Chain A
Amino acid sequence: RKEVEQDPGPFNVPEGATVAFNCTYSNSASQSFFWYRQDCRKEPKLLMSVYSSGNEDGRFTAQLNRASQYISLLIRDSKLSDSATYLCVVNGTSGTYKYIFGTGTRLKVLA
């Protein structure tokens, strides 16, 4: 079983749609959680950190369920510019700030 699992997609959605991505992780001792965005052939860029209380940044909402070891990202009112790969990231080992990435979920927003 992979340490971080994501549905690779692709998710093809029309502009204005709401889309949700899910991610599960295997290490219950994981401490930090993030969503990164990666455009084609570019580096990953931090989209948002994920907290147990849930957090929102404009059209983006992230949720963490520690009991189910599950992370989600909701994008409302999708824009063409949201087309990218969304990487679920977990850091679970104290003493080493090691990121464990999922394979990423591809999103294509269609006009």
Chain B
Amino acid sequence: ETGVTQSPTHLIKTRGQQVTLRCSSQSGHNTVSWYQQALGQGPQFIFQYYREEENGRGNFPPRFSGLQFPNYSSELNVNALELDDSALYLCASSLGDREVWTEAFFGQGTRLTVV
């Protein structure tokens, strides 16, 4: 087990709704990254939080937003859900200092279905 936990594991939402996904990072890790994995594709980087601040963002619209808390857990929020947002959302935890990071360990993911 990696020690990275995500909740919920599965979720069904209606188009236009909002969703919040949660991630608890591995003990001692200060960096959380979020990825979206569509069926048959590799994970795509959404954004990263390092010490409670956004530290890089992928090619996702502003309706994808996030937070990192003082205990380094994190949330991913998606507003105005679209059918194409249906995917596995993965959280990855690592330890870094802005120059060097340890390998990232993934949570089990949240499978989001938008209908």
Measured CB to CB, the residues of B under 8 A from A are 2, 31, 33, 35, 40-45, 48, 55-56, 58, 88, 90, 92, 94, 96, 98-99, 101, 103-109, 111
A49 within 8 A of B: yes
Which B-chain residue is minimally distant from A36 (CB atoms)? B106
- Selected contact of B48 from candidates A44, A87, A96, CB within 8 Å: A96
CB contacts under 8 Å to B, within A58-111, are 87, 91, 93-104
- Selected contact of A43 from candidates B40, B42, B106, CB within 8 Å: B106
Could you name 26 residue pairs across A and B whose Cβ atoms are closer than 8 Å?
A34-B103, A41-B111, A43-B106, A43-B109, A44-B106, A46-B103, A46-B105, A49-B103, A87-B42, A87-B43, A94-B99, A95-B55, A95-B98, A96-B55, A97-B31, A97-B33, A97-B94, A97-B104, A98-B48, A99-B33, A99-B43, A99-B104, A100-B45, A101-B35, A102-B42, A104-B42
Please determine whether A95 and B44 come into contact, CB atoms closer than 8 angstroms: no
A1 within 8 A of B: no
Main secondary structure of the interface of B (DSSP, over half): strand
Please determine whether A95 and B56 come into contact, CB atoms closer than 8 angstroms: yes
Residues on B with beta carbons closer than 8 Å to the beta carbon of A44? 43, 90, 106
A103 to B44, CA, bound (A): 10
Number of residues from A at the complex interface, CB < 8 A: 23
Residues on A with beta carbons closer than 8 Å to the beta carbon of B55? 95-96
Smallest Cβ distance from B105 to chain A, in angstroms? 7
Smallest Cβ distance from B57 to chain A, in angstroms? 9
Please determine whether B40 and A97 come into contact, CB atoms closer than 8 angstroms: no
Please determine whether B42 and A97 come into contact, CB atoms closer than 8 angstroms: no
- Selected contact of A101 from candidates B31, B43, B107, B108, CB within 8 Å: B43
CB contacts under 8 Å to B, within A15-57, are 34, 41-46, 49
A104 to B42, CA, bound (A): 6
Please determine whether A99 and B35 come into contact, CB atoms closer than 8 angstroms: yes
A94 to B106, CA, bound (A): 21
Please determine whether B42 and A45 come into contact, CB atoms closer than 8 angstroms: no
Residues on A with beta carbons closer than 8 Å to the beta carbon of B42? 4, 87, 101-104
